[in-house]
Amino acid sequence: MKESVLEELREHITVMEALAKDTTAMAVVERIAKELAACFRNGHRLYLFGCGGSAADSQHIAAEFINKLHRVRQPLPAIALTTDTSILTAIANDSDFSQVFSRQVEGLACPGDVVIGISTSGRSPAVRNGLTAAKGRGAIPILLTGSAVSAGEGVADHVLNIPSGSTVRVQEAHITVAHILCSLVERDLFP
């Protein structure tokens, strides 16, 4: 049992070390932090979404921006589009599940808002459609994903690829990066 635990921890550390050494990924994290700070500074909102574990991650990240990470401060407007069961089920029933985020983005997002889609594979039709809708609304679409997706796929202005093909390790890294983004934004907006 102990060896299994150590193996899992080593795998996590290997992914995090690879991410830390990835200069392209670090530059993307910095650009996303700047986009978020500008968004909030200019009175805009952050919208987040994903499916399964990434839906829960969206809610977790929104909570960090609304409440706080390190500092007691003014709330930052962040909304997870994964929480309203009436909206989600109405869209899935009346249209198609692949539209559960795009319909909400079309109804809520404005130019200057930031929209973050989270998909470990990068292939979720619901997430990709939501990001496409964001781009169409003049919002800034961002994709957090795993290593299987190339940045040239055109659904987002910024794509953060976690250097792993393991869903578990990618999700762990997404939360770590989200905490880093929130920390950077807090430092920028509330020095």
Task: Convert the pLDDT of each residue in 116-165 to its tens digit.
Answer: 999 999 999 999 999 999 999 999 999 999 986 665 468 999 999 999 99
**106 pLDDT exceeds 70?**
yes
What confidence tens digit (pLDDT) does each residue in 56-90 have? 999 999 999 999 999 899 999 999 999 999 999 99
The domain limits of the chain are 2-189
Q: How many CB atoms lie within 10 A of CB 38?
A: 16
Q: Is the distance from CB of 128 to CB of 146 less than 8 angstroms? A: no
| Second-level CATH architecture of 2-189 | 3-Layer(aba) Sandwich (3.40)
Predicted confidence at residue 147, as pLDDT, reads: 81
Return the pLDDT at 63.
97
pTM over 0.85: yes
The tens digit of pLDDT for each residue in 32-51 reads 999 999 999 999 999 999 99
Distance CA 185, CA 191 (A): 10
54 has a pLDDT exceeding 70: yes
**Coil, strand or helix at 83:** coil
30 pLDDT tier (thresholds 50, 70, 90): very high
Of the candidates 176, 179, 174, 150, the one whose C-alpha atom is nearest the C-alpha of residue 162 is 174
Q: Going by C-beta distance under 8 Å and a sequence separation of 6 or more, which residues neighbour residue 53? A: 120, 167, 171
